[in-house]
């Protein structure tokens, strides 16, 4: 594996709004303790911010191929996932349970995990992150489907 490929697998970009700041910090600590390099695009406090700014930043970095995976967090995860999925080759999956996190990787090769801090607690969030990171993509018939929407050019 080349150095750049290794870096993209061990580096994760993360962003959040004010509602999820504390959860983001817990996830960063968890990821760092497991050897991941975490690049944080903000926010850096619980002061009110506009969540699209952070979703845009993470999604741009994923879309350009600068990171293989990203994590977005807000109060519900809904807004972040809506914004992120507007970017080409971004497959943001809103997951509030382990089953969804697992299937988002197995079948959809999700490259952005989105969670809502007001929906789930820290313990479950960390389990979801672990599952999402450890689950491989199955490929084959699922790749055909992903290619269909990765190359989608809406009117």
Q: Under the phi-then-psi rule, with left for phi > 0, alpha for psi from -120 to 50, and beta for the rest, what region is 132?
A: alpha
Q: Which tokens go with 12? A: 């994760």
Which residue numbers are catalytic?
74, 107
Q: Which tokens go with 83? A: 């914004």
Q: Which tokens go with 2? A: 């080349």
97 Cβ contact partners less than 8 Å away, ≥ 6 residues apart: 124, 128
Place of tokens 């007001």: 118
């Amino acid at each position: 594996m080349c150095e750049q490929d290794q870096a993209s697998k061990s580096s994760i970009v993360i962003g959040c709004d004010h509602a999820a700041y504390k959860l983001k910090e817990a996830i960063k600590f968890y990821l760092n303790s497991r050897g991941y390099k975490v690049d944080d695009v903000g926010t850096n406090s619980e002061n009110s911010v506009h969540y699209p700014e952070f979703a845009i930043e993470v999604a741009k970095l994923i879309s350009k191929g600068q990171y293989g995976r990203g994590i977005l967090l807000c109060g519900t995860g809904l807004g972040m996932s809506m914004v992120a999925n507007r970017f080409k080759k971004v497959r943001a999956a809103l997951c509030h349970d382990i089953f969804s996190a697992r299937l988002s990787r197995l079948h959809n090769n999700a490259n952005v995990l989105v969670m809502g801090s007001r929906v789930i607690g820290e313990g479950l969030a960390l389990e979801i992150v672990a599952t999402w990171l450890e689950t491989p993509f199955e490929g084959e018939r699922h790749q055909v489907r992903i290619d269909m929407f990765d190359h989608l050019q809406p009117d």
